[in-house]
Amino acid sequence: VSEVIVAVDLGAVTNTAAAKHFATLDADLKNALMTRLVDRIGPQGLKIEIDISEVELSNFYQEAANTADTKLVGQVNVSHLTDNTDFASYELAVGVNDVTPLASAETTQTTPAQSTEKYYDAMIGAFADSVVARLGQ
């Protein structure tokens, strides 16, 4: 991988919980990808471009009440700098049900802010994991 570019559509933020993280979403996703790809970085590698088109975050209470729609949706384009036949383009949507459960029935949630942060981190991680998994296909 030679380059990772992440862009976030200004209209992608659909609620205030998501807006809190909007300013750093592109950097957070890029960092998550680079961390997972550290052993695959090189000057003549793939270029990964991601355009996030939808962001919605919730917290444990919203999920427990079944009133949340936590998701991260984006267009992923992968191209090779020197081989025009080596490319992929797809829309990736990661929802809260795609990530490992963040809390069990026995868990005590102390603040909504903490749970929102956990959901945000889980969504970024799941999105990055999905992109990396598809690179090997």
CATH number of the domain that 107 lies in? 3.30.160
Q: Using an 8 Å Cβ cutoff, are 54 and 18 in contact?
A: no
Would strands 71-80 and 87-95 be described as parallel, antiparallel, or unpaired? antiparallel
Decide which of 119 and 67 is more confident. Answer: 119
pTM: 0.77
Q: How many domains does the chain have?
A: 1
DSSP category for residue 11? G
Using one digit for the tens of pLDDT, what is the confidence trace for 108-129? Answer: 444 444 466 777 788 899 999 9
Q: Which residues contact 78 (CB under 8 A, 6 or more apart)?
A: 46, 47, 48, 49, 87, 88, 89, 134, 135
Residue 87 belongs to domain spanning? 3-135
For residue 122, the model assigns a pLDDT of 83
pLDDT digits (tens, 9 = 90+) for 18-52: 666 667 889 999 999 999 999 998 888 899 999 98
